[in-house]
Amino acid sequence: MVSVGPSLLLTSSVDITPMMTVLDGVLMELQDCALPLLKDVIATDKEEVAFKDLDVAVLVGSMPRREGMERKDLLKANVKIFKSQGAALDKYAKKSVKVIVVGNPANTNCLTASKSAPSIPKENFSCLTRLDHNRAKSQIALKLGVTADDVKNVIIWGNHSSTQYPDVNHAKVKLHGKEVGVYEALKDDSWLKGDFITTVQQRGAAVIKARKLSSAMSAAKAIADHIRNIWFGTPEGEFVSMGVISDGNSYGIPDDLLYSFPVVIKNKTWKFVEGLPINDFSREKMDLTAKELAEEKETAFEFLSSA
């Protein structure tokens, strides 16, 4: 949670009461970083303290899926969490607050929080698909022997789940001082339509299998990238991926889904990148992940209406 002054940051961190000792450890680490813009950190288990007058809220905590847990049980548990946090934002935060949801299932949790904060514009809510976006850039860069900064305009469509669609049909890469399309640069359609997609879709699971823990540093970097673009905008000629509310008019995605789109940002306001041609392969992938999100929404809203 961040309040932004003229040149300094005041942050607050909220957690459940049993985790306060751990949160105190996080506070000490932040202090020990000696960050030049950080003025103070407030560790609290009180929503009225943590959410008061926020400029930016990063909702990281969620109920993780446990062995034997059905997806509907996961959605039910998270509806309760994000309904409460949305209501707290509605009550205590600035109406201009930018809310970024990280805790999974991030898209549907974000939609739940937005619906629970009716006085805050729904466009102020977004969920993190930047980690997937960065993973896609990295895979292309590794394949071509360039740096990730040489790759731009990849797209993550849809859900932050294994149905997401990493799309490089419109991506560019800088090779020998010249920008070329990724398909043209790689000349390997089978990899781009096969292993590349599955690698990005399953990267989170692969990290957990390897280190027995979820992504940490890469997730933190993606959150920072996401917030920086919201606050300072996207570079000219570049777009990024964010889970945002659909309007029913962009790329055939049904209205009122929290779906990852390509966006550009200026003056802290995002806009869809419009007019990108969508081929049949992409259309099928985009519709598949939209279907999953529609099903998640239906289940979550059953719990939301009865909560």
* Domain harbouring 56, CATH code: 3.40.50.720
Residues contributing to the annotated binding site for NAD(+)? 15, 78, 102-104
What would the pLDDT profile of 233-275 be if each residue is shown by its tens digit?
Answer: 999 999 999 999 999 999 999 999 999 999 999 999 999 999 9
Residue 188 burial (10 A CB sphere; 0-12, 13-18, 19+): middle
pLDDT band at 5 (very low <50, low <70, confident <90, very high): low
Residues contributing to the annotated binding site? 15, 65, 71, 78, 102-104, 135
Same domain, 114 and 86: yes
CA distance 235 to 153: 11
Catalytic choice (133, 160, 170, 226): 160
Same domain, 285 and 142: yes
Same domain, 197 and 288: yes
What would the pLDDT profile of 288-297 be if each residue is shown by its tens digit?
Answer: 999 999 999 9
Same domain, 286 and 185: yes
Residues contributing to the annotated binding site for substrate? 65, 71, 104, 135
Same domain, 118 and 133: no
Give, in order, the Cα–Cα distances in Å from 281 to each of 167, 189, 273: 10, 12, 19
State the residue for tokens 């899926």. Answer: 65
Q: Which residue range(s) make up the domain with 19?
A: 9-70+78-127
For this structure, is 133 an active site residue?
no
Same domain, 64 and 97: yes
Same domain, 21 and 48: yes
pLDDT at 184 over 80: yes
What would the pLDDT profile of 145-159 be if each residue is shown by its tens digit?
Answer: 999 999 999 999 999
What would the pLDDT profile of 66-92 be if each residue is shown by its tens digit?
Answer: 666 677 788 899 999 999 999 999 999
Same domain, 141 and 107: no
